[in-house]
Structure 1
Amino acid sequence: MKYNVKHKQIYLIFLFALTFISCKQSKRPDVSDIKVDVKIERFDNELLAGKGKNIDQINNSLAKKYGFFYDDYIHKMVGTPEYAGTKIINTLYKDPAYTDLMKEVDSIYPNLKLQEEGLTETFKYIKYYYPNIKIPRFIAFISGFSYPTPIGEGYLGIGLDTFLGKDSKFYRGIVESVPLYMSRRFTPDNIVPRVAETFVHEELFPEPDVNRTLLSKMIFQGKILYFLDQVLPETITDSTKIGYTANQLGWVQNYEPDIWAYFLENNALYETDYQKIQVYLSDGPFTPGLGENRESAPKLGVWVGWQIVRKYMKENPKITLQQLMTDNDAQKILNQSRYKPKKK
């Protein structure tokens, strides 16, 4: 009898867990019928495979297949307008460091199935909200750590050499140009959110020129992150979305009321001086002047803007995502959010 009681309890707990998961998933729209199947083209592999072959033929073949991307690649990413085409390809093939990097990328990314699945899910949701958007070509490449997710005419690039894993031997050698606080995010699980962020920021919602105050920029960035909340796979954490470490996320959550009080006490919300504003919007290892022992998180304005937008949407459940994204009245969003963080 005792066994039966326990068995029943386990069953009920299991049933409750399934119900909870189902409720959580039901908050998102059903996108199963939306036809999106993202494939990432492996330009990096095709370029490497051409080593030892006729360079003129390789150049012509890649130019024909990759069009605008190839033109940007050889003239801007790895070459210059004067030093391009067969010249730059020949240089790359002769450079042992570049060949070593290409092989390293190939070993880490024998395929990109996980990234394709994540982007397929993401762009299904984007298509749900914006059916008329044109999904770009996704092209994987290597540029020497310079271009993580460039976007151009009809394409969105994925610089695989900027997603090798935070402990990659290559990142230790470029620390002067790419500091560790940046390269720690150069991980495979950052590909999908960074690609989505670039597309959303550059193609769907470019920042309005009228955004001059810190508040307007905070709310704009907060809307971008809120949009990513709705379209990225739910397995992607808040820390990955905004680019924080677990400790930095814990810090902003713990000191949220103090951060908000700091903005209010220093009249920072309506500041228009670009240099002063950037302190709260730019990436970095920490925010100067806040926290002890450089433990503060960067981009505090971005994070607070995100929380304001989340609160606004919670307080105004009838507002659609599309309505939110077209609303540039930052003051109204702040007021109607009733954002007043309290100590936990």
Structure 2
Amino acid sequence: MIDNVKHRQIYLIFLFAIAFISCKQDNRPDVSHINLDIKIDRFDKSLYANKSKNPSEVDRQMAKNYGFFYDDYIHRMIGSPEYSNDQVLNTLFKDQAYTDLTKDVDSIFPNLKLQEAGLTETFKYIKYYYPKAKIPKFISFVSGFAYQMPVGDNYLGIGLDMFLGKDSKFYKAIVQSVPLYLSRRFTPEYIVPRVAETYAHEELFVEPDENHTLLSKMIFQGKILYFLDQVLPESTTDSIKIGYSTEQLEWAKQFEGDIWAYFLENNYLYETDYQKIQVFLSEGPFTPGLGENRNSAPKLGTWTGWQIVRKYMEENPNVTLQQLMADQDAQKILNQSKYKPKQK
């Protein structure tokens, strides 16, 4: 009798587990039918493999294989139009710093299979929602910390030297130009979210010129983050989506009501002076004016916009992702979100 009860309990637990997993999976559309397999072209490996060859020969080969990207790389990322391609390559190949950096990149990224799988999943969702979306060629490179994610003619570049891990010796050496609050996010797990965010901003949803108020900018940025909610792998944390540390995310959640009250009490929502509102949208170690001893999370306008959009979609389940992203009425989204977080 006891054994039968135990068996029934185990069976019920198994059924609940299956139901839970099914519910979680059913939150997203089925994209298994979308035929897509993204590969990242390792320009960084290809260029370094040719460093012992004649620069003129390398130049011809790279120009043929990489076209517009190679031209941008030579003339904008690591060189300038004043110097010939041969001169730029010759200088680069003789630079010990380039050799050291490339070897470090190669040790951390012997392959990009994990990133390719993440991008494949992400862009399957993007193609599901936007079937006509044109997927660019993804090219990895090393530029000596000059560029992280450039977008050019049919390509999206991934500067692998900007994702070596927050404890990389290189970031400690360039702290004057790249502060630690930025380099702490230069980790491999940020590649796929940053690609998706860059693609969304540059290719799908360009911010309207008429977005002048803090509210309109908050809602726009919030919609981008909500879009990431829908297309990134489900394992992607909110902290990585917005670029917060775990502590910053918890701070923003804990003081959500106080943040909103601060915006209302200071009449910031309809402020159009960019100097006044950019502190709530820009990267930084914290948000000025909020928190004690500079312990607040940064870009709290963006964070709040995200929460408003999430609440709006929760209150309006019939609104599709495409309808949300096309809707430029920030005031309507705020009103219909019924967003009223409680103060601490």
Fold shared per TM-score above 0.5 = yes
- Residues 84 and 308 from structure 1, CA distance in 2 versus in 1: closer, same or farther, beyond 3 angstroms? farther
Kindly state the Cα deviation for residue 7 of structure 1 after the two structures are TM-superposed.
4.5
The unaligned stretches of length 5 or more in structure 1 are none
RMSD in angstroms over aligned alpha carbons?
A: 1.1
Letter in 1 for 2:145: F
Q: Distance in 1 between matches of 2:12 and 2:81?
A: 67
Q: Distance in 2 between matches of 1:32 and 1:180?
A: 40
**Which residue pairs with 1:300 in the alignment?**
300
**Which residue pairs with 2:265 in the alignment?**
265
* Matched position secondary structure for 2:280: coil
**Which residue pairs with 2:100 in the alignment?**
100
* 1:189 to 2:189 alignment: yes
Kindly state the Cα deviation for residue 294 of structure 1 after the two structures are TM-superposed.
1.3
**Which residue pairs with 1:33 in the alignment?**
33
Kindly state the Cα deviation for residue 208 of structure 1 after the two structures are TM-superposed.
0.5
* Matched position secondary structure for 1:279: helix
**Which residue pairs with 2:162 in the alignment?**
162
**Which residue pairs with 1:255 in the alignment?**
255
Q: Distance in 2 between matches of 1:324 and 1:315?
A: 13
Q: Distance in 2 between matches of 1:36 and 1:84?
A: 38
Q: Distance in 1 between matches of 2:37 and 2:120?
A: 5
Q: Distance in 2 between matches of 1:146 and 1:309?
A: 34
TM-score (norm 2): 0.98
**Which residue pairs with 1:230 in the alignment?**
230
Identity %: 74
Give CA deviations for 1:241-274 in whole Å, capped at 9, x if unaligned. 0000000000000000000000000000000000
Q: Which runs of 4+ in 1 moved over 2 A?
A: 1-15
User: Is residue 222–residue 306 contact of structure 2 (8 Å, CA) maintained in 1?
Assistant: yes
Say which is worse superposed, 307-316 or 78-87, in terms of deviation: 78-87
* Matched position secondary structure for 1:106: helix
Letter in 1 for 2:31: V
Q: Distance in 2 between matches of 1:148 and 1:118?
A: 18
Q: Distance in 2 between matches of 1:9 and 1:17?
A: 12
Kindly state the Cα deviation for residue 89 of structure 1 after the two structures are TM-superposed.
1.0
**Which residue pairs with 2:332 in the alignment?**
332
TM-score (norm 1): 0.98
Q: Distance in 2 between matches of 1:90 and 1:18?
A: 60
Letter in 1 for 2:294: R
* Matched position secondary structure for 1:157: strand
* 1:68 to 2:68 alignment: yes
Letter in 2 for 1:265: E
The unaligned stretches of length 5 or more in structure 2 are none
Q: Distance in 1 between matches of 2:310 and 2:27?
A: 15
* 1:277 to 2:245 alignment: no
Give CA deviations for 1:69-105 in whole Å, capped at 9, x if unaligned. 1111000000001124111111111111110000010
Give CA deviations for 1:161-182 in whole Å, capped at 9, x if unaligned. 0000111111110000000000
**Which residue pairs with 1:18 in the alignment?**
18
Aligned residue pair count: 344
Kindly state the Cα deviation for residue 329 of structure 1 after the two structures are TM-superposed.
0.4
Kindly state the Cα deviation for residue 342 of structure 1 after the two structures are TM-superposed.
1.7
Q: Distance in 2 between matches of 1:142 and 1:100?
A: 11
Q: Distance in 2 between matches of 1:290 and 1:132?
A: 42
